[in-house]
A and B are shown apart, each in its own frame.
Chain A
Amino acid sequence: MKLILKIWRQASPKDEGGFQTYHLDDASQDMTFLELLDALNEKLIVEDQDPVAFEHDCREGICGSCAMMINGRPHGPGEETTTCQLNMKAFRDGDTIIVEPWRARAFPVIKDLVVDRSAFEKIMEAGGFVDVDVSAVPDANTYPVARRDAEEAFDAAECIGCGACVAACKNSSAMLFVAGKVSQYALLPQGQMEGLQRAWNMVAKMDELGFGSCTNTGACEAECPKGVSLAHIARLNRQFLKAGFKKVGEEKN
């Protein structure tokens, strides 16, 4: 299968960057999208050119590192798939594929398709943890959790921190990510200690780091490879408002 790839090349954060066109004549429909990029890079290396920088690790949809915009969609076409899970069967012979990095002020480009997502780490540091000791696996049923809550918390915990929600959002808001991280603790007994403060601190951090505010368009949910639901954002809003009323803001430490 012959493909035309238009890929964003940017040598460094300061570099202006621009699209480069590559022709790949021996692509196979059995490849994944990352394998396609591997094939391209092998070719570039043989030709003594700089290979395309992109992030990848697990290649099975659980680490969240393979972040890129493919034809205007985070992680490309297909529902609930990451780029590494994206099969080349989604494309046809002769297609032109545009590949770009996430675009958000809070995610500056480092090189080519790699963006700096450390802003997510900083949000986690602001509240994405529990203060109780959970080192050993507790005995079953020590903490009774309703099945519905367990399911809902698990749904939220599925977030792999890929940043597709930010990339898809016209406001570059990280609400779905934050909502997932808040919800996964909010419904479980282990998360009760920090309670509302978690929601408050993480949202405050998100604002501080230059993410936009949520206007409920739902683009994040549609593009999230893990199907994290907007219902978690409603829960986050609930907790945030309650925290505001009770004035449980950030404790300066």
Chain B
Amino acid sequence: MSISGIFLILFLIVHLTVNSMIVFDDSGALFNQAAHFMATDPIIGVIEPILAIGLIVHFLFASIITFKNQRKRDVNYAGLGRYKKLDAAAGSNWPSRNMYILGGLILIFLVIHLINFFWKMKFTGDPLLHTPTGLEGDVENAYNLVTTKFIEWKWLVGIYVVGALALGLHLYHGVWSAFQTLGWSNRKWRDIWNVIGLIITILFAGGFAFIPLFVMIQSMV
């Protein structure tokens, strides 16, 4: 759980870096070049299936742990929830208790995300991809595909914002939890991981939500 989680975070850092190029370069050249590199580089080609395996491992372990743990209590507390601030759950934060639900939201988002972009770039193609990029060589216009979709389908932007929020909350607990599970924590490091977790939360939730919002809003003004 922890190791696959940390691996997926590393991927997210790369992904956010590449995506942020959409914001930094309106011509799209920077993003197109990066996307082209990601699609053609042999090393990335090797990492891609490993990433998929990492995700599947993360999901399978999460499912096993969640369903096993759920069976460890047969009767629920009647006093829970009735005294909201007082109940035992109040001692833990909401994301930490709902990692599987947040993970499920992220998974749903991921499917939508992959169908819209990854699938088209990799397999089915899309006329938007074959618009001129102004770049040398056979570079697909990924920038055009991404920005056009965000401008055309405003609801898609909404889904991305929700997805980014779910991811952020998932990581808020996930970061510290991963290192705690690996034993790499103590009284002092716990605070440090929590701060790092918060920074990652803000960075990823904010970053991934900002990009589609930016594209949409830019087209409207």
Contact = CB atoms under 8 A, between A and B. Distances in A.
A13 interface: no
Interface string B61-78: 000010011011111111
B190 interface: yes
A237 interface: yes
B91 interface: yes
Contact of B91 (A98, A106, A222, A237): A222
Interface in A225-253: 229-231, 233-241
B143 interface: no
A222 B72 CA distance: 20
Interface in B158-185: 173, 176-177, 180-185
Given A213-B68, A237-B180, A71 B73 contact: no
A167 B180 CA distance: 21
Interface residues of B, number: 40
A72 B86 contact: yes
A224 to B, nearest CB: 9
Given A71-B87, A215-B69, A237 B182 contact: yes
B88 A74 contact: yes
A216 B73 contact: no
Nearest to A218: B92
Contact of A216 (B80, B83, B173): B173
B79 A98 contact: yes
Given A218-B96, A219-B92, A231-B190, A172 B180 contact: no
Given A71-B82, A98-B79, A106-B72, A216 B91 contact: no
Given A213-B65, A234-B183, A237-B180, A72 B72 contact: no
A105 B65 CA distance: 16
A199 to B, nearest CB: 10
A100 interface: yes
A77 interface: yes
Given A72-B87, A171-B72, A233 B180 contact: yes
Given A105-B74, A168-B91, A70 B79 contact: yes
Contacts of A103: 73-77
A238 B69 contact: no
A230 B180 contact: yes
Contacts of A6: 78
Given A69-B77, A103-B76, A105-B74, A215 B86 contact: no
A105 B73 contact: yes
B86 A170 contact: no
A220 B91 CA distance: 8
A212 B72 contact: yes
A194 B65 CA distance: 29
Contact of B180 (A168, A216, A220): A216
A129 interface: no
What bracket does the count of chain A residues touching chain B fall in? 35 or more
B91 to A, nearest CB: 2
B99 interface: yes
Contact of A172 (B72, B78, B183): B72
Nearest to A239: B183
A59 interface: no
Nearest to B88: A168
Contacts of B186: 231, 234-235
A174 to B, nearest CB: 10
Interface in A40-94: 69-74, 77
Nearest to A75: B88
A112 interface: no
B90 interface: yes
B92 A222 contact: yes
Contacts of B90: 222
Nearest to B99: A215
A217 interface: yes
B101 interface: no
A237 B73 CA distance: 23
Given A221-B91, A222-B90, 15 more contacts: A72-B81, A74-B88, A100-B79, A104-B73, A105-B71, A105-B72, A171-B72, A173-B69, A216-B181, A217-B92, A234-B186, A237-B181, A237-B182, A237-B183, A239-B183
